[in-house]
Amino acid sequence: MEKKIDMNMVSTLALAYLGDAVLEVKIRNYAIMSNKVKLNALHRSSVSYVNAKAQSLVYDQIQSDLLEDELVILKKGRNSKKSIPKNVMAVDYRKSTGLEALLGYLYLLEKNDRIEEIVDMVIAIVEGRKSDENTKSSDLST
C-alpha cells in the first residue's frame, strides 16, 4: 500500500536531509561492491557521486524520466531557502538539494524500486554512460 505524504507536515529541506542519507548509503554500497578495498579509494569514489556538481548534472538529465509528483518535489527542493557553502556554486547546490529531496520523498513513500531506478540513473550519469543492466545498484543492495 502506498503512503501519502502531507507536504504541509514535512519540509522540503527535511526531505533533502533524509534523501542525502539515502543516496550516501546507496553509493557507499555501490563503491564497496565495485571491489574498492582501500578506505581512501572508497571515499573518493563515493564523493564523486554525491557532491553538488555531480548531483546538479543528474538533476538536469533526469527530469524527463520523472513522474509529475516527483518533478514537483525536485523543483521544490531546488527552490528551498537555505545557506549555501562558499566552496560550491549556488545553482549546483540548489539542484543537489532538489535531487536529495526527491530521494527523501520516495523513501518516506517506501518506493524502494523507484529509489533504485534513480540511483541507477545517478551512477550512469556520473560515470558518463547510459544505465547498464550489469551495474544496477539494485543488484548490489544488501
- Residues assigned a catalytic role: 20
Give φ, ψ of 43 to 5 degrees. Answer: -65, -50
Residue length of the chain:
142
65: cell is 524520466
Q: At what angle do helices 68-79 and 12-33 cross, to 10 degrees?
A: 110
117: cell is 531506478
Question: Do residues 11 and 73 touch, judged by C-beta distance below 8 A?
Answer: no
Alpha-carbon span 3 to 109, nearest angstrom: 5
Which residue, 115, 16, 3, 1, is CA-closest to 73? 16
